[in-house]
Chains A and B, each alone.
Chain A
Amino acid sequence: MEIYWVLGIPIAGGVFLALWGSRRNAPEINALVSMLTFLAAAMLTQRIIEQGPMMVGNGWFFIDSFNVFLVTLTAFVAFTTSLFSRPYMRIEKEHGRLNDKRLRLYHSSYQVFIAAMLLALTTNNMGILWVSMEAATLATVLLVSLYRTPASLEAAWKYFILCGVGIAQALFGTILLYFAAEKVLGSGGTALLWTQLNGVKAQLEPTVLQLAFVFLLVGYGTKVGLAPLHNWLPDAHAEGPTPVSAVLSGLLLNVALYAVMRCKVLVDGALHTDMAGNLMMGFGLLSVVVAAFLIKRQTDVKRMFAYSSIEHMGLITFTFGMGGAVASFAGLLHMTMHSLTKSAIFFAVGHATQKAGTQVMDGIRGLIKTNPTVGWGLMLGTVAILGVPPFGVFASEFLIITTAMHEHPWATPFLLTALGVAFAAIFGRVQPMVFGETELPRLPHMPALAPVFVHLGLVLMLGLFIPPYLAAWYRQAAQLLGG
C-alpha cells in the first residue's frame, strides 16, 4: 500500500511541476513533494521492519531489507537536496544563469528522476528495472545541460551516449537472463521476476548466466562509474547544477550498484564459482586506483569530487565482490555514508562556487573568512569523505580494509595506496580553499546550510554508534546478498 504512495507522489509532483513549475513558489512545492515522498518511504520502512520482506501488487513490487533502506536513503537525500536547491536555484536565477522555463524543466525532471529511481529500487521485474534505469538517465540528461554552456552540452551528450551504449549492453544481459529463465520458468512475465528467479537460480544454465552477468556488469557498471567506463561521470557531475550533481553522485550510482547486486545474487546461485565476485573486485579495484591517481590533476572542484565518487563506488563494488557477511555489511554501510557525505560536500561546494562565481579551485580561497558556515561545512565534509575518524566513512573503510587483508591480501596495498593518494590530493586542494588567504570581505547573508550539517551529523553519529535496529537491518540485507 505504501509503495503506491512512494511512487505516486513523485510522479504526481513531476506532472504538476511540469505544468506549473514556472511559478515563484515552485521550489517550495518541490521540497514539499520530496518531504511527502520521504514520509511515505519512512512508513514503508516501518512496515517492512515489522513484517519482513513482502511482495506487493501481484508480484510487481518486492521490498526487502536491502532495497527498503536504499529507498529511505534515496527519499531522504532527495528531500534534503530539494531543501538545499530552494535558495540555491533562486540565486542562480538572480545571477542570470537560469530562467523560469528552465526552472520548470528542472523541477519536474527532478521529481520524475526520483520516481524513476524509486521504481528501479522497488520493482520485482528485471525488465522494468532496466526500463527505469534508462528513464532515470533520460530524466537527467537535460538537467546536465541546463546551463546551455558548450561544456555542459558536451557533458550531457557524452552522458547520454556512453550511458546509452552501456544500458544497451545491460539490455542484452537482461535478454540473456530471460533466455535462461524461460527454460525453467516458462515464457511470460513471471520469468523476469526476481523473486521467482531467486527461487530457481540453481537451475539456471551456467554458461548463459556467465555471459549475461558480464553484459549486465559492463552495462550497469557504466552507470556506476566503474573504470574504464567512467568517462562520462566527471563531466556530467561537474557541469550540471549542484543539486543535480548531488543527486547523481549520491543516489543514482547507488541504484545502479543495487541493480548489479541483484544480478550478482542470481549469478552466484547459478554458478557456484566466484566469477561474479572476482569480476566485481577487479573492476572496483581498477576504479579506485584510476580515480585516485586522476584526482591530483583536477582543477575544477566539482570534477575532483566526482572522481572521488568514482573512487568510493569502486571501493563499494570491490567490497561487494569480496562477499561474506562482514564485507556486505561494510559495503552497505559505506553506501549510506558515501551518499550522505558526498551530497553534503556538494551542498557546501555549491554555495562556495556560487559565491566565488567559479568552479576552478584556484579561484576560491579563504572560505573560513568570507563565509564560516560554508567553510566549516566543506572542511568537515572533506574530512569525513576522506575517512577520518570518528566519521562513519572511517568505520566502513576500516571494515573493508580489514576484510581485504584477511581474505585478499594482494589487494590491500593497492587500496591503501589509492586511498592515501586521494587523501593527500583532496586535502591538499581543499585546505587552501578553506583556510587560504583572501582579501574578500565577509559575505552578508547566511546560506541555508542546514542540510549539510544534518547529513554530516548523521554520518558522525553512525560513525560513533550504529543503533541496533539499523545494525540488524544491515545484517539482514547483508545476508540477502549472500553473506
Chain B
Amino acid sequence: MALSYHLQVVNLLAALLLLISFAMLSQRRIVGLITLFAWQGAALAVSTSLVAWATGQHHLYYSAALTVLLKVIVMPWIFYRLVKELDVNRDVEPMINIPTTMLIGIVLVIFAFNLALPISALSGTVTRSTLGIAMATVLLAFLMMITRSKAIPQVIGFLAMENGLFFAATSATYGMPLVVELGVALDVLVGVFVLGIFFFQIRETFDSLDLKHMEKLKEK
C-alpha cells in the first residue's frame, strides 16, 4: 500500500522530528539546542502544510503559518537574545550522562509507540501512524526537562513537549479547531514572555541560571 508522495514526505518529516528530539537530548550547547528547536518548528510547519495540501483541510495552513511565525522566528529569537543578555554559560550540563539518557530515550520511544497503537487504529486520518512519533516526541521532551538542571534547557524541553502535542493533534485529528489553536499559541507566547521576565529576576537574585541554587525549599 504505497501512500501518495506528500504523505510519504509527511512520514519522513515525522521521522526527522523524532531525530531532532534525540539530537536535542544529546546536544551539549544551549545555542545548539535553540537552533534544533527552531528546526523542529520548521519541520512541524512543513508537515502541517503538506497535510493541509493532501487532505484539503485549509485551516491547517493557518496553523502552519502560526507555527512558523512563533516557533521558527519569534521564540528562537527571544531565546537567542536571552542567552546573550543573560550571559549564560553555554554548556547544558545534563544530570545523567548523555549515553544513558539516550538509552532511556529509546525505552520511552518503544513505550510511546505501544501506547499510540490502539488510538492510531481508531483514527480516521491518513496520518494516523505518526501519532506514535508525536507521543515519543512528547516523552523525550519530558525526559529532557527532568534531566536538565539549567533554566533554558528546561524551558526548551517544555516547548518541545508542546510541539509534540501539536503534532499529535495534527496527526490524530487534523488539528484542533482554529480558535483553540490560537488560544494555545497565545498562551505559549505569553508563557515565554513571562519566562523571559522571570529569568532576569532569577539572574538578579542568584547571579546564575543554574537551578541547583533553587533547591532550598524542601520538606523540613
Chain A contacts to B: CB under 8 angstroms: 125, 127-128, 130-131, 134-135, 138, 141-142, 145, 148-151, 153-158, 160-161, 164-165, 168, 171-172, 174-176, 178-179, 182-183, 187-189, 191-192, 205, 207-208, 211, 235, 239, 294, 297-299
CA distance A328 to B216 in the complex (A): 40
Residues A154 and B172 in contact, CB atoms below 8 Å apart? no
Residues B162 and A168 in contact, CB atoms below 8 Å apart? yes
- Report the stretch among B21-29, B103-111, B176-184 that lies at the interface: B176-184
Given A192-B176, A208-B119, 20 more pairs with CB closer than 8 A: A127-B176, A130-B183, A130-B184, A131-B187, A141-B194, A142-B198, A148-B201, A153-B206, A160-B195, A161-B145, A168-B161, A175-B169, A176-B172, A179-B119, A183-B124, A187-B174, A189-B177, A207-B118, A208-B122, A299-B220
Chain B contact residues: over half helix, strand or loop, or mixed?
A: helix
Residues A179 and B173 in contact, CB atoms below 8 Å apart? yes
Residues B206 and A150 in contact, CB atoms below 8 Å apart? yes
Tell me, yes or no, whether B142 is within 8 Å of chain A by CB: yes
Residue numbers in B under 8 Å from A239 (CB-CB): 217
Q: Determine which residue in B154, B194, B204, B206 has the highest number of CB atoms from chain A within 10 A of its CB, and name it.
A: B194
CA distance A174 to B165 in the complex (A): 10
Tell me, yes or no, whether B186 is within 8 Å of chain A by CB: yes
CA distance A138 to B193 in the complex (A): 10
CA distance A179 to B80 in the complex (A): 36
Given contacts A150-B216, A235-B217, contact A157 B198 (CB under 8 A): yes
Residues B180 and A127 in contact, CB atoms below 8 Å apart? yes
Given contacts A172-B165, A297-B220, contact A182 B119 (CB under 8 A): no
Tell me, yes or no, whether B95 is within 8 Å of chain A by CB: no
Residue numbers in B under 8 Å from A165 (CB-CB): 142, 145, 158, 161
Residue numbers in A under 8 Å from B179 (CB-CB): 125, 127-128, 189
Q: Which residue of B lies closest to A211 (CB)?
A: B119
User: How many residues belonging to B are interface residues under a CB distance threshold of 8 Å?
Assistant: 47
CA distance A164 to B195 in the complex (A): 12
Q: Which residue of B lies closest to A238 (CB)?
A: B217
CA distance A142 to B191 in the complex (A): 11
Chain B contacts to A: CB under 8 angstroms: 118-119, 122-124, 138, 142, 145, 151, 154, 158, 161-162, 165, 168-169, 172-174, 176-180, 183-184, 186-187, 190-191, 194-195, 197-198, 201-202, 204-206, 211, 213-217, 219-220
CA distance A148 to B202 in the complex (A): 8
Residues A178 and B173 in contact, CB atoms below 8 Å apart? yes
Given contacts A175-B168, A175-B176, contact A156 B119 (CB under 8 A): no
Q: List 14 A-B contacts (CB under 8 A).
A: A127-B184, A130-B180, A131-B187, A135-B187, A142-B197, A150-B213, A150-B216, A157-B151, A157-B214, A160-B191, A161-B158, A191-B177, A192-B177, A297-B220
Nearest CB of B to A127, in Å:
3
Residue numbers in A under 8 Å from B195 (CB-CB): 160
Residue numbers in B under 8 Å from A211 (CB-CB): 119
Nearest CB of A to B146, in Å:
9
Given contacts A127-B180, A165-B158, contact A176 B119 (CB under 8 A): yes
Within 8 Å by CB of B211, from A155, A157, A179, lies A157
CA distance A44 to B146 in the complex (A): 45
Residues B216 and A154 in contact, CB atoms below 8 Å apart? yes
Nearest CB of B to A294, in Å:
7
Residues B214 and A154 in contact, CB atoms below 8 Å apart? yes
